[in-house]
Each structure stands twice: as structure tokens, then as C-alpha cells.
Structure 1
């Protein structure tokens, strides 16, 4: 039933939007010009397209988006990753934008003899947004709560461990620093200087100030990544000031491991999240990373140096927690 709900939410809802757009385009055919306005600037139409071609392209684009979203969602579910109703609703609404935009364009061109006289560009935007929001909410309702396909199992006997004895306490702290990002406070303003001196394009003082602020923010928030494992769980800290901060309590974690992340995996450096697979990535470099599997689905990766002891300590703490509950 879960897969059926996923398909109904991500493909069925956009299919309804497509059907409504097609029916209305057919019913309003005699009230629409052969060439319709499709773009406005300051309320004045400045671009047009043949009615039939415009409708076909928009609906084909919407259908392609719906199929892509459905495939990603079903693939994530089959792999045992948690699915967010919010993410499903958002992407289902996004896929209806070509159809909702088409509906707005049709309404704006109703009963006009020539596309140059079409008004109501604001109406197009309102209709597009409204239909997308309604479709997203409907998809989230249709989706319902989705249980994680794989039940929590806890650390396996052969998973990483450090040999923590019963009653013994330990804390692990790991970190990594991206030296290039650390120097951003100097490198980013240097770009303005190069443009000024080499390309001979004058750079105003306020641009230097803005570049310095950008570099300072990148340095403070993105140059360092730290992780702490203790009896409370896993705490992730970003930046030189240890903020932003995120905490995963021990009862949210199923088990820990070490993974090797590619340099571009997840889309680059910083914080990356995939709403379909449930993956969250905190990354300042490629290479070894602490990998956390959550009990309700999803994975968390943190690229800190020498992550194996952190994963081992987390697994030992989880084993101790399981034994204490069994007693």
C-alpha cells in the first residue's frame, strides 16, 4: 500500500492537474486566440506562442517532472530510506507548476481577439501558485505517514566497537578544517582586488566591504566541522564558533559506521540534504566520514578526521542501552 500511496501522491495528483488543463483548453478553445500571450513585463504581454504547441510542451514537461519525482520517491522507499510527507508535497506541487502556469495563461487569454491585448499577468502568478499549493497539500494528505521499510535493528555484532566496558564512560571528539574556506576572509576580497588591478574594472569600496563580510561569514560558519559522541548521543558543530549546532539523541540512532564520501557527493561542501533518500551530509572535504543510521530512516554523514573511534563508541553506547533495557 505504501508504494501505491507514493505513486498516487507523486504521479496521480499531477495527472489530475494535467487532465484538468487539457479539458479546460478543449472547452475554451473557441474563446482563445490561436496565438496566446505567454509572458508579460510590467503587465504588458511581450512574448507569445501558438496555443496548441504551448499546451503540449507545458503538459509534456509536467508529465516528465512527475515521472522523475515518482521514480526518485519509489527508489528511495525501496532502498529503505524514510520519506518526508513535506518533501513529497513540495515536489508534487512543484511538478504541477507547468500545468498551473498553463491554466493561468489560458485564463489571462480568455475572450481576447489578439494576444497583445491579454492582461492579467498577476492573475497568472496567483493561479500558478494557488494550484501548486493545493496540489502539494493534496499530495501530502494522500501520502499519509510512511513507515520506514526496514525496522530498527541496532548495531550488529561485527559492527565497529571500541570495547567500552559496562558502566564505563567515554567521550570522543572529532573535527576537520578546510584551510581554503578558512582563508575566505582574505581570498574573497582578493577577488575584487584582482578585478580592479588586472582587469582594470574599478571596484567601489562598498563592494570590498561586502566581499569582506561574505568571506568572514564563510570563514566563521563553514571552515570547521566538529562532532562529539558521548552518552547523550551525537552533536555536530559547524564553524569556528561551533554554530550552527545539531544534536542527535542516542534513542534516535540505530547504528554507526564509517563511509567514504566523494568530493562532489551530495552536491558539494557544506550542509546538504536529500528529502527523498533521507540523507543529511555535513561535509568540508572528500574522504572518510562518520555515518549514522537513524531509527526512523535516513543517514547522517559527517566528514571528520579518523571517524572510526566515534562510530565504535556510538555502537558500544547503543549496545549498553539495549542491554540496560533488557534487564
Structure 2
């Protein structure tokens, strides 16, 4: 369950900051009322205003949308925290900034329509976009600051008695290496350019040589970075490597891990293959296929899934290392 102060911070970051942006936009509209036309420009093309709206309804709808977005994001964030899932400050900042876009857009529109008399003479879109983006970025940074460090999850106390184990004795050393390869992604370097060839032959559409080159490069990147997944468990913790070159790479030291288990991933779980992250549930997936996967619970919340073959020994070794580490600290 979320600590009271943790819940307060989440609410302040995800609801309080966007609410402040809505309030600022409303106050500025009131202060600038005499300087704004009754009909304001709300859309620009190539720097020229090409659409308008009555100021009152525009303000009401935009700020209401911002308030609803903030409430939805705040509810999702608090719900995720109550379930014990970790919340990233970066994720909180991003989504808080996103929910302020209606309010920041209102401020941009107001600035663009100041003292113009007629909406057709509204300031160019560059200023409007700059003001809108600046307000959203400031709101996101402020929300991340308000959120503060992610607290440890109460009850994170290491592997349970019935958690997987391999029987590693104190003082013994062991290393486990697991991997999996997606053969379809491995052949992307050839399959992706083949798409251009099929379009050329079947669709009777001429494909320029540079298109083939671009497709080949895309296929090569997919093959190098996404065709293979590896994981290593040793006394330093868990290291995950993606791609034929072992990069990108991510390391989780033992002091960040609470326990490990084996999970069965659905083919579409997490939204597909590759690296997937859900900032609200705290789940991170390194996935090249459905089926058995190493599931690692972190001490600050969240789960890391790695879809490698035969993950049970890896989970058992991690749990044994964590038990030995806890025992050594108790001495």
C-alpha cells in the first residue's frame, strides 16, 4: 500500500501541477480580457492563422479537457502505487507535462492573440508553439521535482521460502547464462528489403535504389539490435544484453533486486517484441517471444521480465545469492 506522504506527492505531481497550469491559464485569460478579440485564432498553417473560435467556449472546453486528463492520469498513478508498482520520476514528469498541454496551448493562443483586434492578424505559430511547449516542459520538471525520489516498497523482504532455488551453498560461486533468438528478426536484414522487391514486382511500382538501401539498413539495425536476447546472473546481479553485439545492455545489482521467479509471457503482452516499459505498472519487458521468462521483482517496485530459454535456474541462482547476501548482513 502506498505510504500517505507518497500518495500526497503523487497527487500533487499528477493533479496539482496540471491544476495550477489550468488556473494560471484561466487567470491570464481574465487579466488579458480587454486585450483579446472575442474571436481568437486557434490554428495556424505556415505561420498564418487559418481557423478561429469564440474565446469563451474555447477556454471552457480546453481547460475542461486539461482537468479531465489530469484526473485520469492521477487516478492511474495512485492506483499503480497502491498495487506496489514502482513509479518513475521521469514518467510522472512526462505525463504531468502531457496533461498540461491543453492549458499550455491556451496560454500560447492567448499570447498569439494579444492586442491584434482581429484574429486574422494573430502572431505567427512559432511563438504560440514555443509558449505552449515551454509551459508543458516547466510543468513536467516541476512535477518530477514534487514527486521526489521513489520510495522503497514496504514488504520487500527478499525471496520467500518456496521461491525457486538451486541449492547454492554459502561460499560457492556460480554463473548462469540464458539466451533466446528470434529467427524472424534475425533474418530482417534480408526480409525487409524483400518487401521493396515484392512491391516492385507485384505492385508494378518502381522502387528507387535508395529505398532498397534504406530498407536494408533498417533490416540490419533490427537484426543487430533486436534478434537476440541474453541474460547473465552472477554475484554482481543480473545483466541483460540485447542484440548480436550484446548492446544495448542493462545491469541490475543485487541490492536493487528483491526476488526472482519464472513467468509465462503472452505473445502480445507488453505490446510486442523488443524493450517495452509501462511507467504506471512499473513493468519492463525484454521480450523476443512468448512463453517462459525470468521475472525479477525490484526492491523499489516494478517487475523486469526477460524472455530467455529455461529461466528457472537463473531465478533460483538469483534467489540463492539474495539469501546469502541477506544472511551476511544479519551477521
Q: TM-score, normalising length from structure 2?
A: 0.94
| Equivalence map 1:178-327=2 (5 Å) | 178-327=182-331
Kept after mapping to 1: 8 A contact 2:153/2:300: no
Aligned partner of 2:91 in structure 1 is 87
Kept after mapping to 1: 8 A contact 2:150/2:300: no
Q: CA deviation at 1:257?
A: 0.5
Unpaired runs of 5+ residues, structure 2, are none
Alpha-carbon distance in structure 1 between the residues aligned to 2:135 and 2:67: 16
Q: Number of residues paired by the alignment?
A: 327
Kept after mapping to 1: 8 A contact 2:49/2:124: no
Aligned partner of 2:138 in structure 1 is 134
Aligned partner of 2:20 in structure 1 is 16
Aligned CA-pair RMSD: 1.6
Deviation per CA, 1:55-107: give whole Å up to 9, x if none.
Answer: 22211221122112101210121111222222222221221111011111011
Matched, 1:162 2:166: yes
Give 4+ residue runs of structure 1 displaced > 4 Å after superposition: none
Kept after mapping to 2: 8 A contact 1:81/1:148: no
Alpha-carbon distance in structure 2 between the residues aligned to 1:31 and 1:54: 16
Q: CA deviation at 1:284?
A: 0.7
Deviation per CA, 1:223-273: give whole Å up to 9, x if none.
Answer: 111111122211111111111111112222111001122222222111112
Alpha-carbon distance in structure 1 between the residues aligned to 2:212 and 2:144: 46
Kept after mapping to 2: 8 A contact 1:34/1:50: yes
Q: Given the superposition, is the C-alpha separation of residues 259 and 86 from structure 1 closer, same or farther in structure 2, using an over 3 Å criterion?
A: same
Aligned partner of 1:125 in structure 2 is 129
Q: TM-score, normalising length from structure 1?
A: 0.95
3-state secondary structure, aligned to 2:264: strand
Aligned partner of 1:53 in structure 2 is 57
